[in-house]
Structure 1
Amino acid sequence: MCYPRTDCWVQYADFAGAVCAREMKAACPAGSYKCVNFLSDAWENTAKTHILVVQLALGGLSLTFGAFRCGNRHDVQSESILSMIEDGWNVGAIITDNAGPRDRARRILAVRWPKIVFHFCYAHQMNLLVKDTIASAWQITVAQAHDVVSMLNQSTAKWLSRLRDSMKTV
């Protein structure tokens, strides 16, 4: 495994990610067996601004390479990947979210660079799965409560008073 030099992390504390990224690039020259893994994801923040975050992983260590405004153009993600490869980075894997355009881009880029692994992010998939599971269970409960309230509101006063009496008993 390839670990960046120790002085890299001192520089990272002083000068942020750009200095350390240069050290990572120097530690993994093109053509060597050492490679950096590239993780990127784009999302919309609370201010409705689209942001692309790029993280690099090398030898069990990771750093945030940068957070970039990308507007509503998601091809910025592809441009950042291409610029790193063409700039001489020895990239071993590129991980992105599983959106349709990214899926298509991974298939195209895998043909162009067969020695690089292009994959979707498992953590992103798990997040979507959990979110959908919780949302569907919650929707069922809310729908059932809505049906009960609607039925009681449409029923005669006789049933509503009986319900109130049974609630006091319970």
Structure 2
Amino acid sequence: MEQRDSVRAIQNRSGGRVNFLSDVWETIAKLHTLGGDRHDGLALAEQMEGVIDELLPSEWKVGATVTDSTGQCSRVRRILAPCFANIAFTRCFAHDVNHLVKAILNSAFKNISKEAAGVEKFLNASTSK
């Protein structure tokens, strides 16, 4: 009951506005938390639609949903956006930055850092320190 009162207080302070973040598709034990045994866009969309349908009549105003940038999540956004025109369906900025950094680190920068490490190793091994 205490948790419910706490959530109700947050709901009152925020005017009932909430953003729906969905990122944890499976547990550490690799059990799917959304979509059951299926991990495709349609299964995830059905689960997310159920959550949104449950939130809307309970005085919560869903402003946005945020998912990662996988193909399944892209499909979820394409399926649900026409059904909920007042909700923004967006990609997670942090995931996009992570993908960008990985791409940079796996590009020419990777070769430069390898060469720099080789130079450092050579200099440290030289007899004229």
Whether the aligned pair in 2 keeps the contact of 1:50 and 1:70 (CA below 8 Å) is: no
- Alignment partner, residue 128 of structure 2: 169
Query: Structure 2 matches for 1:16-165, cutoff 5 A?
Result: 19=4, 23=8, 27=11, 34-42=16-24, 49=30, 68=33, 73-75=38-40, 77-89=44-56, 90-136=61-107, 137-142=109-114, 144=115
Whose Rg is larger? Answer: 1
Change beyond 3 A, Cα 1:43–1:111: closer
After superposition, the C-alpha distances for 1:113-133 in whole angstroms (9 at most, x for unaligned) are 111110101111112222332
Bigger fraction of residues in strand: 1
CA distance in structure 1 between the aligned counterparts of 2:72 and 2:64, rounded to whole angstroms: 18
Whether the aligned pair in 2 keeps the contact of 1:35 and 1:92 (CA below 8 Å) is: yes
After superposition, the C-alpha distances for 1:14-71 in whole angstroms (9 at most, x for unaligned) are xxxxx3686379x47xxxx7431101113667x56256xxxxxxxxxxxxxxxx3767
Between the aligned residues of both structures, percent identity stands at 34
How large is the RMSD of aligned CA atoms in angstroms?
Answer: 4.0
Change beyond 3 A, Cα 1:108–1:126: same
Displaced runs of 4 or more, over 4 A: 69-72
Q: Note the C-alpha offset of 1:141.
A: 3.2
Q: TM-score, normalised by structure 2?
A: 0.62
Segments of structure 1 that go 5 or more residues without pairing to the other structure are 1-7, 13-18, 52-67, 149-162
Q: How many residues align?
A: 117
Q: Which has the higher contact order (CA 8 A, sep 6+)?
A: 2
CA distance in structure 2 between the aligned counterparts of 1:126 and 1:42, rounded to whole angstroms: 18
Segments of structure 2 that go 5 or more residues without pairing to the other structure are none
Whether the aligned pair in 2 keeps the contact of 1:41 and 1:97 (CA below 8 Å) is: yes
Instruction: Letter of the 1:80 partner, please give it.
Output: Q
Change beyond 3 A, Cα 1:139–1:44: farther
